[in-house]
């Protein structure tokens, strides 16, 4: 069993950019548009993030409409898993993480207009 092997050989921990943590902070390198898989045609808004603790570079999805405009390059973001245990989700190929916070303010609070952004 693939999952069993990953867990018991310890390769899952080595390959995981977060190490053993559930979330990680990183610096935004650039904004990227990832094309959705067939039959959907969309450009999913993502960001390239370099993690602070180990310097690994990952691609993270930015949820909600227009939230990419709240994120700038060199921002500090908090990144979490996408919900399938380090596995790509839905029609977004190769993206295993999502952005949760920007400049230590929740992305959802910014989206709903409940909190101002710390520029």
Q: Where are the alpha helices (DSSP H) in 39-116?
A: 107-112
Q: What is the pTM of this model?
A: 0.90
CA distances from 96 to 84, 112, 113, 117, 118 (A): 8, 25, 27, 26, 27
C-alpha span between 106 and 28 (Å, rounded): 16
Query: What does each of the 119 residues of the chain score in pLDDT, given as a tens digit?
Result: 888 998 899 888 888 899 889 999 999 999 999 999 999 999 999 999 999 999 999 999 999 999 999 999 999 999 999 988 888 999 999 999 999 999 999 999 999 999 998 77
List the domains of the chain with CATH numbers. Answer: 21-112 (2.40.50.140)
The per-residue b/e assignment along 66-91, b for 16 or more CB within 10 angstroms, e otherwise, is: ebbebbeeebebbbbbbeeeeeeeee
């Amino acid at each position: 069993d693939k999952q069993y092997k990953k867990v018991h050989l310890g390769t899952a921990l080595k390959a995981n950019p977060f190490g053993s943590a559930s979330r990680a902070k990183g610096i935004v390198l650039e904004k990227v548009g990832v094309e959705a898989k067939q039959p959907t045609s969309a450009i999913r808004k993502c960001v390239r993030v370099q993690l602070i603790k180990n310097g690994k570079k990952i691609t993270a999805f930015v949820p909600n409409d227009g939230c990419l405009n709240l994120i700038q390059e060199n921002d500090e973001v908090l990144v979490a898993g996408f919900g399938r245990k380090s596995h790509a989700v839905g029609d977004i190929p190769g993206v295993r993480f999502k952005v949760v916070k920007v400049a230590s303010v929740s992305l959802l609070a910014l989206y709903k207009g409940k909190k101002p952004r710390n520029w």
